[in-house]
Amino acid sequence: MWSVRRLLKAAVFAACLVPALRMTAGAVSLPGFSLGADPVAALLHGCGRWALNFLMITLCMTPLKELSGSMLPLRLRRMFGLFAFFYATLHLTVYIVLDQSGNVGAVWRDIVKRPYITIGMLALILLIPLALTSTARSMRRLGRRWTSLHRLVYAIAILGVWHFWWQVKRDIREPFLYACGLAVLLGYRLWKQRAAAVRISAARLAGIDAASAADPRSFASRCTGP
């Protein structure tokens, strides 16, 4: 019998697959599904968009866990991160196979000469070690280095939004919205880090050990007493 948590994970997994399934249905012209006049562009943009969406969703999980007190967002974070990698890989495959008709030389020239593609490629390359070390075993094996390595996701998200911004011709409204969302998600982390640093220096002044200061709740109890 599957636990509720497992059922929920399976449902979230299925939901994450829906964009790819819809694009596939459109690509094979299933009734009710269409990719419009330029199917290759629709697939390229669709996969790129969902790669960026899942990067943003992944970055929402830690604040969500802290604000809700529930561990569920952290349990789903790895799945969302791997879906960002999945859609970015699909995006690159569509670009190489369909958009550039498998012409590796042309792809290489684009990567070297078109800056927005250069940073898209850099974002994808940086995603590879994160995907490869997303297993629980890697987390145990790498310990603190795992946390430092996975902070790369911040740079990858910045590169993804920049890639999107640079490839739009005129209308920057959508990349701007993504940039604002990313600024809030990264700003929250900077604020939290700053608050922890202030607490630790205040603790030092008050002779409270740094470990208690790191956790806002135990710091408050140490300051105000039991």
Contact between residue 85 and residue 131 where contact means Cβ atoms under 8 Å apart: yes
Q: How far is the CB of 198 from ligand HEM (least distance, A)?
A: 34
Q: What's the closest the beta carbon of residue 197 comes to ligand HEM, in angstroms? A: 31
In the bound state with ligand HEM, the residue whose beta carbon lies nearer, of 73 and 175, is: 175
Smallest distance from ligand HEM to CB 31, Å: 25
Q: Please say which residue, 16 or 124, places its beta carbon nearer to ligand HEM.
A: 124
Region label for 147, one of left (φ > 0), alpha (ψ between -120 and 50) or beta (otherwise): alpha
Which residue number, 77 or 199, has a Cβ lying nearer to ligand HEM? Answer: 77
The CA distance from 56 to 6, in Å, is: 23
Kindly state the smallest distance separating residue 186's Cβ from ligand HEM, in Å. Answer: 16
Name the site residues for ligand HEM (rule: CB under 6 A).
41, 44-45, 48-49, 51-52, 88, 91-92, 95, 111, 117, 120-121, 123-124, 127, 160, 163-164, 167
**Alpha carbon 24 to chain centroid, angstroms:** 23
Residue type, position 129, single letter: P
Tell me whether residue 164 or residue 219 sits nearer to ligand HEM (CB atom): 164
Q: Which pair of tokens denotes residue 39?
A: 């199917």
Q: Kindly state the tokens that stand for 11.
A: 């449902």
**In the complex, minimum distance from the CB of residue 96 to ligand HEM, in angstroms, rounded to a whole number:** 7
Instruction: Say how many C-beta atoms besides its own lie within 10 A of residue 108's C-beta.
Output: 11
Q: Please identify, using beta-carbon distances, which residue of 61 and 90 lies nearer to ligand HEM.
A: 90
Closest CA to 124 of 166, 165, 152: 152
